[in-house]
Structures are given as C-alpha cells and as structure tokens.
Structure 1
Amino acid sequence: MSYRRFKKLLGETSLERKCRLMFAGALLLLIGASFWVYARLNQRVVEEQQRDLAKLLIAQNLTVTHWEKTQSLIDPETIDIVADLSRTLKPDDLAEEKWRFIPQDYENSDATRRPTETYDHDALKKLLYGGEKYWVYVDSEEQSYHYYEPIIAKENCLLCHRDRQFEPQISELDEMMGMARITFDLKKTQHDIDRNNAILTVMAIVTAVLGMGIAYLIVRYVIVKPVMHLKDVSDAIAQGELDQRADIQTGDEFQELSHAFNRMLRHLVSTQEELRQTNVSMDHKVDELAQANLRLHDMNQIKNEFLATMSHELRTPLNSILGFSDVLTVSDNLTEKQKKYLRNIQSSGKNLLVLINDILDLAKMDAGRMEVHSVEFSMVDLVERQVLSMKPLAEKKNIDLSWEIDENFPILNQDAGKIEQILSNLLSNAVKFTPEGGRIRVDVSIFDEDLFDLVVADSGVGIPLEDQSIIFEKFRQGRSQVGSDLTTREFEGTGLGLSIVKELCRLLGGQVLLESEFGKGSTFTVRLPLNFVCLNPQVPSNGMISLHQPGSYSPAVGRTRAT
C-alpha cells in the first residue's frame, strides 16, 4: 500500500491519532498472529499425544490378546493376573477406548466379520497399498478419534502364526498381518482445547489493550508532547512574541530539534533586525532618489522648454537670413562667385532650419505639447507628392524610386502633416543610405479593417543586427561597416530622423517596424489606424489635441490615449 493511499484511508487527522491507529493495528496484527501460531502448535502437540496414546493402547491390547490366545500354554491363573493388572494399571482419567484387530483378508471372510464403519476400508487401502505408517480419522460429529496402525509380522510372529496355525495365517517375514484400530472419545480433550483457546483469546485481548495503553502513553508523552510544545512556540512567534524559545529536556532527537529550532529563531531575529536596518537605509535612499528624480524631472522640463524656446528663437533669424538670401538671388549686379556663396548660404540655412525643426519637434513631443490635427485627406495624393519631391535627389544618385498604392484607397482621417513628415524622413534616409544604382520602393496597403501599412524598402547598406535595437534612439546612427564605431559615420546627419518617426507613429496611435540585413537593404513598415480616434472625452471636436503626457498611445491596438 502506497503512502498516499494509506493517508487517504486515515484521512486528515492528528499525529497522535495516526500513531495510535497505526500502533494499535500493528499490535493487534502481531498479537493475533502470534497467538494463532501458538494455538496451532498446541493443537499439533495434542494430536501427537493422541497418536502416542493410541500406539501405547494398541501395544497393551495386543499384549493382552496374546495372553488370552496362548492360555493353553500358560497357567490360567497367570492369564487372569495379567488381565487384572492391565485393567488396574490403566489410569482412571483415561478415556474409554475401543480396540479391534482387523485382519488383512477381512474382505474375503464372512459378512458378519466385516467392519460396519466405511472408513475402515479407506484405512486398509492407505496402509496396505499406500505404504502409510498410520492413518487417523477424526469424526467431528461424534467427536471420536480413530487410529489405525498396521501389524507387521516379526520373527516371533512366524513361530505361532505359521507353524501352529494361529489366525491370521502368515508365511513371510515383514508381511502385513492386518491392522489395529483404537477408538476413543474426544469430548474431554476438545473441551480442554476450547478452554485453552478461550484463555489464549482473553490473554490476547488483555495484551492488546495493555499494549495500546502503553503505546498511547508513549505517543502522548514521548512524541506528541514535544511536537505540541514546538507548535505552541511557533504559534507564539507567529503572533509576534519573538522572545519565545523551545524548552525540551528529553535527551534525544527532540532536544536536538529544539536546539536547532532556537538557533533558527535567533538567526531569524538577527536577520529581521538587519532587514529592518536595511529597510530604514533603503527608505532614506528612496527619499534621496525621489528628490533626485524630481530635480531631474524639473531639469528635463527646463531643458525641453529651453530647446523649444531656443529652436523657435533660432528659427526666426534664420528665416530672415533665408528670406534676404532669396531676395539677393534675384539681384542683377552679383558676380558668379557671389552667387555661389549665396547658394551655399541658402543650402546651409535650409539644412540648419531642418535640424532646428527636428529639435523643436522632439522638444514638443518630450514636453507633451505636440498637437494632432485630424483631417480627411487622400493618401494617394500625399504619397505621390512626397515621391515626386524626392525624385530629383534620387535621380542624382541614379536610384530607381517607385511607388504603388491602390487608386481606390480609402480616405484617411488622420494628421496629414505628420504622416507626410514620417514618409519624408523615411525617404530621405533611404536616399541617403542607398548607393548609386539602387532601388527604393514605397507601398501602401490595408493591413486589416482598422489599420494600414506604409512600407519604404531600399537596397541600401542595411543595418547590422546589433544596431537594430538602438536605431530609433535619439542622436543614434547605425554602423556603415562592420567593426566601425558608432561615432564614426560615413553619412551625414544628426540621427534624429528615425526617432522622430517613432514618436510620430506613437503619437498617431501606431508603430514602426524594421526588417533589415546588413549589406542587403532595409524595410521600414509604418502601421497606423485609418481613422485617428481620441479616447479622451474632453478633447474638443475640432480634431486638434495637445498631449501633455508622452507615451499615452497604444500601438498594439492602433488607438490614441490623450490626456
């Protein structure tokens, strides 16, 4: 029986009850088995004694029979004396037996001489043909004992039963002359056996009761009491009484267990004190960290406001510079050298204006001030306009720039300016990082009923796998060749384009995905909702919102959370 089955049989009970049940069951089994074996041994002894008694009675009766048969050769008075001695010397408490000699050829004799008991035939077959030394039959109904033993011819038997013609007749030595049967009553013997069995049963019950009582005392005071003491101490400690200690003085494993329990408590108290002190120190550190975070947050806000203000302030004089340079380009009294310088001023000014606009956009998004203008527009027109505006730059590098969009593409309800900025940044990067003779393709398709994909794929230098996790961070560019440092760039740029794309996608409720293999090109997939949905009920209905908590969009579901 497995432990689980044994546990299921006992059920959820206490240790004391389990021990009592197990000890009692084992004790009853052992005592019952031992007394049963003892009773069987007594029964065997009684059976052996009955056989010995039957053998002695057969010898006695054979002796008396020989005296009676040979009375013609012996003095009759001597025969009478021997018979009286046989009856006198027989114990008084011995059961009255019935003696009979059954010759071997009784089946061929007269019917009056045949035994009436049917088991005499079985006994004769067993002894004559089976080679048995004796045969016993116990009649349980009449409570009688029948013992059969063969009579074998010896040398002295041949003198009388062969020469003098005494019955039965024999001719050879060791020949079976017949069998002797002794029958006596078993009532007194069975009564004695029943009395002994009753005494054994009573002794077994008394022994089992005493054993269970002793087992109860042992379990109660040697096993359960120390365990209950440990339980009480544990409960007290659980209630906060940490000064409690186990006190078991048994000189055995329970005492060692109590010492180990006390050592564990002392270690627990010391560890708890160390944790308390650590928690106090951690509280101070957390407070300091919180104050530092507040200062950093304030400084970050100041930085964002500074960048936004400075970008705005820088853009104003820069627009003036670009405006006056445009005025100067139409002047007729400029030399070719002056016109070249003027074109350099315009080119540098425009690049600086793009950089300032990027910084201003990032500052607005970090500060949560970027506004979303949701309007209805045609995506076909937007893609065509951006691709055509980027066509001259692609043709200078002999790059094949193509685009594909279904003419029946649905009208979007999104921020057209920001989607245009996203596409412009992706196309600029694709042209910048695609070598001469390369290919750039723009695809727009429906992803599902609520989302659409804007895909820009190029055959440029690609992005190494180790750089793909940081390529969307601010002021980061990928490595143009294996082993080159991030700060050593082959291509110009500030590294703000992809970070702006990522923030704008998040702002519009979408996400940007990247698939790239170094040396084989890159594919950027912008996944946006077809209709910009603001989840903030306080947003005005004019489609313009201002976000004050960056990161409040859920790209996974393609929706915007505005606060």
Structure 2
Amino acid sequence: MLKLKPIRISLANKCQLLFGAAVVLILTAALIVVAMRMQALVEAAPLERARDFATAWLNNHIRLGNALLTIEEGGRGLPPDRDFGLTLIEDFEFERASGLDPFLARTIDRFSTTRKHQTFDIAEDTAGRRFYRYARAVRSSDLVSAQQLATGNGQAQEPIGPPEMILLIQLRDDRVAVEAATNRIYLVGAGTLSGLLAIGVFWFITTRIILSPVRVLRDYAGQVSRGDLNIRSDINTGDEFEELSDVFNQMLESIRDNQGRLSDANKSLDVKLGELAASNVALYEANKVKGEFLANVSHELRTPLNSILGFAEVLSESLSARTGPVDEKRKRYVGNILASSRHLLNLINDLLEVAKIEAGRVEVRIAPVSVDDLTEGLINLMRLQAENRSIALKRRVEPDLPILETDANKLQQILFNFLSNAVKFTPDMGTITLSASLIPEIPHTKPAQVRLSVSDTGPGIAPEDQQKIFEKFTTLDPSVTKEHGGTGLGLTICSELAELLGGSIELDSELGKGATFSLLVPVKAEPVGPIRRPPSGHGSEILAGEL
C-alpha cells in the first residue's frame, strides 16, 4: 500500500494560517452578534412608530382622515398604493375579523385570553413589498387612563378588563431595507479591514518576535551539524528564547568537553588495543609452543614407557610360567610396575589427545556404525570391571535404530569414558544402564538424532558442579582420584569430541540419585573437524587398545 508523504509546511506559514483562521472565526462570530443586534434595532423602528401612532390616537392627538381602512381592507393587508393605514375593530366585529385574517385571529385570541395589549408582525403585499402590522388592544382601563392623562389628572395604569376594541396599524417603511443594507456594508467593510489589520499585526508579531529567534537558532544548529562547535548563540530577548539560547550554548560546551574526553579515551583505547594485540600474539605463540612441546614430550615419553611396559609384561609372564616356587614380593613389584606404567600411559595419552584437539589436528573418519553392535561391544568390554564390584550392567536399545554415519572410534571413546566413570563412582551392588533411543527429525529445524545415555546409581553431582566437571583438570572428589587415578581431562575430551561429531553432551543428575550422561549425535554427522572417509569395503572395527 502506497504511503502518502505528509506535506511540509514551515512554522511561519503554520502560524499565519492558524492565526488568520482564528481572527476570521473571532471576527465572524463578533460581527454576527453585532449584525443581529443592529437588524433588531432597525426592525424595531417601525414598531416604535406604530406604537407612537397608537398612543397619539388614544390621546386624541391625531385624526384618522383618509388613513382609515375598513375591516375588509385591513384584513387583506396594506394596499400597494398606500404607506399607512389604520383599522378600528369593535368588540362585536371580532368574530368577523378573525375569519378574514389569521393574524387578526391570533391577535384577538391572545388579547382575549391574556393581559397582553400589543402584537407585531411583518408581511408582504400583493406586489411583494414588505409592510409592518401592529395591533393594539384598547380596554376600558386604557380609555380612562387616556382621558386622565389628557386632563393632566392621572397616570398610566395596567390593562384591566377584556378588550373593547383593537387598533390595527399597518405601515410601510422603505428606510428599514436601506438601513439594513447599509449596516451590512459597514459590517463587512469593518470586518474585512479589522481582519486584514489583525492578520498584519499577527504576521509582524510572529515574524519579528517569535520566528526571528527560531531562525537564528536554526542557523546556529546548522553550523553545529557541520562540525563547528566553537559557535555560540547570542539572543537577547529576555524571554524563553534567551533561556533556550543559553541552554543551547551549555549543550555545545558539554558536547565539546565530551568530545575531548572521548578523544582521550580513544587514544588510551588504541594504546590498550595495541598492547592487547601484542599480548594475544604472544599468547598465541606461547600456546602454540605449549601444544607442540606437550605433543613432543608426550610422544617422547610414550616410547620409553612402551619399552618399560613391554619388559614388565615379559617379567610378569616369566614369573607366571615358572613351575617352582615364586617370590611373591618380586611378583608384587612387577605388578606395581605394570599398573603404574599403564596409569602413566593413560595420562600421557590424555594430554596428547588434548594437545591434538587444541591444535586442530584431529581427523574425523566417517563410516557406518551399528548402534546395537557398538553398545553390545562396550557392555562386553566393561563387564569384567563391573562384575569385580558386583555392579549390574544393563543395556536398553530401541529396536530398528538407524545406522549412524559418524566416527566410530570417537563415538566409542566418549561412551567408554562415560562407562568408566560410572564404574568408578557407582558403589558396590549398584546398577549401570547403557541405553540408546531415536530423537525424530524436526523438519527445517533439527535433524534426526540418536541419544546414547549412561545412567548410574552413584552419589550424583550437585547442580553447581555440573559445569565444572567439563573443565580441564577438574575432579570433584580427590579421594577417588587417588584411588582410581585420572587427570580430570576425560569429560573435557568427550565434550570436544562430541562437538567435532556435530553432537552435544547432556547431564542430568541429583545428589544421592545418581547421574545420567547423554551423548546426542546426528544420524548423519556433519562434523566440525577435518573429515576423512575410509576406503570402500572397510568396516568400523574397534580394538580396546585404541581406547
């Protein structure tokens, strides 16, 4: 839908339009009231003349002469050829007069039922000319008052009694229309002149007093927007515009001070960024040297350690092959050499694995993996360690799980670490369960995954420690470390390997209720690390020694 752009109108034009409309409305309302009052005064002039005629007739100051009209003539209105007419209607003629003229009918009824003594109306003759009709009720009290006033022995009294006659005066006054037109001309002229004068005054006020300081401030703001912060506003009007000018100058001072502080802060930040970049480079180099040193040292340590393990195994086999009595102390010493060497080899392998992961030299070998075969092999591999401590080892795998496309060695390494930790921390007569289930695909959001979980009935892990155990060299129970060994790198390595396989690790545990470590791996892995696919025809056989 097309959006209309609003029309831009300057402040000066808005003020002039608004003030002009206000002036027009105010003057129009005022002139309408004046016009109505002047029209009423003009219309009242014929009424006043008719009332004077009626009073003069009552006092016998005038004679009717040829101005007298019969009831039939007066009932039809004022003839076009006459400007004045007077009709005297006696009380016995009221009924006949009411039938001749509706105005007379209303007048007679009003005078008969109320104490009103005069009515007034405007009519038109047959030629379309306006004339005025005035009816005066003459009661007995009026006649008495008129006689007393004529002799100078009385005063006007309130009307008393029914009307004895009605005096109908009809007159024409062409000056009323002329005066009304003249009044309108004067009113329109005065209104126009007053409006123009008011608009001119408002224009001068808005332009000189209101808009001039605004334009000055606008020009100053334009120069500030172009980068000139040294300019200052100088408005001396003694009102809010001067206050606004002072605030504007204070704002410029604040902006300049803030810019100065910001410039100093940027310079300091540039220095710190340079130092930080140098520190990052040094840290990167140190980390690189550390990784290379760790990998080289680990490799160099593994070579003599393998020789020690080999000779210790030869000694153990030779002691076992003897038919005669065997020195138990010597046999115990050889066993200690084997256990310590294997423990040291595991530590070196963990350090070497971490170094390879940090250096980004871990390859992901994608191959088909059967979840059923994988879990069964792991159960068989851990069964002896579990039986030695009377721990029940269970396997729960959903039927018809899909074949995984992932790195079998790394997948088995993660699960083997979960199972080893479970055996370490589960008390005797406990239970360890290895389970596998399918997490269906969410279209366009999440691919299908397989959840591989290891649950135990061990002591559990506190919520505040569940993130710590995935950090390097972290162990929560030093006594277990002394008993079973370990560097605190196992779960760190598992977390890194799970990320390389495009999966994740979840932990659900409560103190005293055991723990469940779950590996969520996609059915078709999208690994993060370098991918390497084995040649066609090669399976995914895994040896325990590769763990």
Q: CA deviation at 1:351?
A: 1.5
2:137–2:163 CA contact under 8 A, matched in 1: yes
2:215 alignment partner in structure 1? 228
Could you tell me which amino acid in structure 1 is paired with residue 464 of structure 2? Answer: E
Q: CA deviation at 1:48?
A: 4.1
> Is 2:493 the partner of 1:506?
no
Structure 1: segments with no counterpart, 5+ residues: 1-7, 70-94, 161-171, 545-563
1:494 alignment partner in structure 2? 487
Q: Distance in 1 between matches of 2:519 and 2:452?
A: 5
Could you tell me which amino acid in structure 1 is paired with residue 499 of structure 2? Answer: R
2:78 alignment partner in structure 1? none
Give the secondary-structure state (helix, strand or coil) at the position aligned to 2:470: coil
1:375–1:543 CA contact under 8 A, matched in 2: no
2:499–2:527 CA contact under 8 A, matched in 1: no
2:452–2:518 CA contact under 8 A, matched in 1: yes
1:424 alignment partner in structure 2? 416
Structure 2: segments with no counterpart, 5+ residues: 66-81, 148-158, 442-447, 537-547
State the TM-score, normalizing by the size of structure 2.
0.82
Q: Distance in 2 between matches of 1:67 and 1:21?
A: 64
Could you tell me which amino acid in structure 1 is paired with residue 413 of structure 2? Answer: Q
2:300 alignment partner in structure 1? 313
State the TM-score, normalizing by the size of structure 1.
0.80
Q: Distance in 2 between matches of 1:338 and 1:263?
A: 92
Give the secondary-structure state (helix, strand or coil) at the position aligned to 1:430: helix
Q: Deviations over 1:140-182 (max 9, x none)?
A: 543111112211212864999xxxxxxxxxxx96332222222
> Is 2:381 the partner of 1:393?
no
Q: Distance in 1 between matches of 2:379 and 2:212?
A: 90
Match of 1:379 among 371, 374, 391: 371
Match of 2:461 among 460, 463, 469: 463
> Is 2:517 the partner of 1:518?
no
5 Å matches for 1:192-271? 192-271=179-258
Q: Distance in 2 between matches of 1:28 and 1:283?
A: 65
Give the secondary-structure state (helix, strand or coil) at the position aligned to 1:524: strand
Q: Distance in 2 between matches of 1:34 and 1:175?
A: 45
Match of 2:16 among 20, 28, 42: 20
2:404–2:524 CA contact under 8 A, matched in 1: yes
Q: Distance in 2 between matches of 1:182 and 1:10?
A: 66
Q: Structure 2 vs 1, CA of residues 150 and 262 (structure 1 numbering), >3 Å: closer, same or farther?
A: same
Q: Structure 2 vs 1, CA of residues 408 and 151 (structure 1 numbering), >3 Å: closer, same or farther?
A: closer
Q: Deviations over 1:448-467 (max 9, x none)?
A: 46432211122222221112
Q: Structure 2 vs 1, CA of residues 130 and 411 (structure 1 numbering), >3 Å: closer, same or farther?
A: same
Q: Distance in 1 between matches of 2:196 and 2:483?
A: 99
Q: CA deviation at 1:209?
A: 1.6
Give the secondary-structure state (helix, strand or coil) at the position aligned to 1:471: helix
1:300 alignment partner in structure 2? 287
Q: Structure 2 vs 1, CA of residues 64 and 361 (structure 1 numbering), >3 Å: closer, same or farther?
A: same
> Is 2:53 the partner of 1:57?
yes
2:396 alignment partner in structure 1? 404
| Alignment coverage as a number of residue pairs | 492
Q: Distance in 2 between matches of 1:457 and 1:542?
A: 33
Q: CA deviation at 1:302?
A: 1.2
Q: Distance in 2 between matches of 1:206 and 1:308?
A: 102
Q: Structure 2 vs 1, CA of residues 279 and 173 (structure 1 numbering), >3 Å: closer, same or farther?
A: closer
1:176 alignment partner in structure 2? 163
Q: CA deviation at 1:17?
A: 1.6
Match of 1:38 among 28, 34, 38: 34
1:374–1:543 CA contact under 8 A, matched in 2: no
Higher mean alpha-carbon deviation, 340-349 vs 266-275, is at: 340-349
Q: Distance in 1 between matches of 2:264 and 2:170?
A: 99
Q: CA deviation at 1:115?
A: 8.5
1:455–1:525 CA contact under 8 A, matched in 2: yes
Q: Distance in 2 between matches of 1:466 and 1:542?
A: 42
2:176 alignment partner in structure 1? 189
Q: Structure 2 vs 1, CA of residues 200 and 408 (structure 1 numbering), >3 Å: closer, same or farther?
A: closer
Match of 2:129 among 142, 155, 160: 142
Q: Structure 2 vs 1, CA of residues 11 and 146 (structure 1 numbering), >3 Å: closer, same or farther?
A: farther
Could you tell me which amino acid in structure 2 is paired with residue 54 of structure 1? Answer: A
Q: Distance in 2 between matches of 1:203 and 1:156?
A: 49
Q: Structure 2 vs 1, CA of residues 394 and 130 (structure 1 numbering), >3 Å: closer, same or farther?
A: farther
Could you tell me which amino acid in structure 2 is paired with residue 251 of structure 1? Answer: G
Higher mean alpha-carbon deviation, 487-496 vs 285-294, is at: 487-496
Q: Distance in 1 between matches of 2:425 and 2:528?
A: 38
Q: Structure 2 vs 1, CA of residues 224 and 202 (structure 1 numbering), >3 Å: closer, same or farther?
A: same
1:248–1:258 CA contact under 8 A, matched in 2: yes
1:476 alignment partner in structure 2? 474
Q: CA deviation at 1:523?
A: 1.6
Q: CA deviation at 1:327?
A: 0.7
1:58–1:99 CA contact under 8 A, matched in 2: no
Identity of aligned residues (%): 35
2:425–2:459 CA contact under 8 A, matched in 1: yes
Q: Distance in 2 between matches of 1:374 and 1:364?
A: 19
Q: CA deviation at 1:503?
A: 0.3
Q: Structure 2 vs 1, CA of residues 477 and 133 (structure 1 numbering), >3 Å: closer, same or farther?
A: farther
Give the secondary-structure state (helix, strand or coil) at the position aligned to 2:410: helix
Give the secondary-structure state (helix, strand or coil) at the position aligned to 2:435: strand
1:99–1:183 CA contact under 8 A, matched in 2: yes
Give the secondary-structure state (helix, strand or coil) at the position aligned to 1:29: helix
Q: Distance in 2 between matches of 1:215 and 1:472?
A: 79
2:77 alignment partner in structure 1? none
Q: Structure 2 vs 1, CA of residues 387 and 406 (structure 1 numbering), >3 Å: closer, same or farther?
A: same
2:98–2:105 CA contact under 8 A, matched in 1: no
Q: Structure 2 vs 1, CA of residues 307 and 543 (structure 1 numbering), >3 Å: closer, same or farther?
A: farther
Q: Distance in 2 between matches of 1:515 and 1:502?
A: 15
1:91 alignment partner in structure 2? none
Higher mean alpha-carbon deviation, 275-284 vs 370-379, is at: 370-379
2:153 alignment partner in structure 1? none
Q: Structure 2 vs 1, CA of residues 158 and 325 (structure 1 numbering), >3 Å: closer, same or farther?
A: closer
2:343–2:485 CA contact under 8 A, matched in 1: no
Q: CA deviation at 1:225?
A: 2.1
Could you tell me which amino acid in structure 2 is paired with residue 526 of structure 1? Answer: L
Q: Distance in 1 between matches of 2:5 and 2:372?
A: 78
Q: Deviations over 1:100-156 (max 9, x none)?
A: 322222135xx6x88854421221112222443421111154311111221121286
2:351 alignment partner in structure 1? 359
Q: Deviations over 1:413-436 (max 9, x none)?
A: 322211111111011111122222
Q: CA deviation at 1:498?
A: 0.9
Q: Structure 2 vs 1, CA of residues 367 and 136 (structure 1 numbering), >3 Å: closer, same or farther?
A: same
Q: CA deviation at 1:262?
A: 0.9
